[in-house]
Structure 1
């Protein structure tokens, strides 16, 4: 199993969009990813497995802060530890770019993702009631230092 992480670009946006659609009930539009490629504050990384895009993570880098916009692994590749590679990549980006902290929000019911973030020392800093389309609460996390 050969893995590689590279920046999102126009050559892999279709596969990233496929990942998005396979993972989320309300996926981002393909155009949103194209706009993120052109956004100087957005940093997106694509995980390749044997040269095939199977996941991605996105970050907005604003001043000395980072906000993780999304992380996804194609359904058929979930449970293999690949999301750890993406979290490590984004933490490395944080450290290499001297960001004070990373933030994110996640569905309260997404226990798998919450355990992943907590494994990497993300701490709960709050919640947003009725944040998602189905009125589900968003749990807010931060990684400082």
Structure 2
């Protein structure tokens, strides 16, 4: 059993039962959120789709950052789940097509951003895509989302093109970013080093030892 000194995070395949929390995050993360029906179709019928969710244990919800007046206000505005119940902090999805992993979505609860959960999900996705035989990973990102671009650059994505007026809510352009070959020894070593550094960062940031359990899809 994990203790208050352990930050337990589980990354596992998304299921239909996860959709209530997925949609809760979706609605606050995106101006044009997907519907429950769209996600259910992806999970049940799209053989190219791979979706994962990240769960945070209840101990982390009682991190010292959630204490004091600020913590009280946070809990008043958004009550924490029942003690003992894990909280979904984010999710990610990609489509595997013709040897290419297209990262279609990635989102983290607003109140849990800045704690590297999105980075954990991205790293897991790249490893899972490589395991499924993807040669490269690619994605689109808003030209204004420089924070996300910096994360993708950190993981070896390069800017390779642009899609004009890609986002329907405001006609914003999208940058196309793509990785080097995922299964190359050089990239796998880069990914290994980044994951070690991320674990150390989370240990320091949260003041606890990270216990990460990752489950891949079929």
Quick check: which one's helix share is greater?
Answer: 2
1:16–1:54 contact (8 Å) kept in structure 2: no
After superposition, residues 44-59 of structure 1 pair within 5 angstroms as 44-50=51-57, 51-59=86-94
Note if contact 1:56-1:72 (Cα within 8 Å) is conserved in structure 2. yes
State the aligned residue count: 145
In structure 1, the partner of 2:8 is 2
Cα distance in structure 1, aligned partners of 2:150 and 2:158: 11
Give distance in 2, aligned partners of 1:36 and 1:144.
27
Of structures 1 and 2, the larger Rg is shown by 2
Counterpart in 1 of 2:188?
none
- Does 2:171 correspond to 1:114? no
- Please, which runs of 5 or more residues in structure 1 have no aligned partner? none
Q: TM-score, normalised by structure 1?
A: 0.96
Task: Give the drift of 1:68.
Answer: 0.5
Unaligned runs of 5+ in 2: 1-6, 58-85, 182-218
Tell me the C-alpha RMSD between the 2 structures.
Answer: 1.0
Q: Aligned equivalents of 1:136 and 1:44: distance in 2? A: 26
Deviation at 1:26, TM superposition (A): 1.4
Provide the C-alpha distance between the structure 2 equivalents of 1:59 and 1:144, rounded to a whole number of angstroms.
17
Which protein, 1 or 2, shows the higher relative CO under an 8 Å CA cutoff with sep ≥ 6? 2
Name the residue aligned to 1:13.
19
Aligned residue number for residue 124 of structure 2: 89
TM-score by length of 2: 0.65
Structure 2 counterpart SS, 1:18: helix
Over 6 Å off, 4+ runs: none
Give 1:63 deviation, angstroms. 3.0
Q: How does 1:17-36 map to 2 (within 5 A)?
A: 17-36=23-42
Q: Please report how far the alpha carbon of residue 144 of structure 1 lies from its aligned counterpart in structure 2 after TM superposition.
A: 2.3
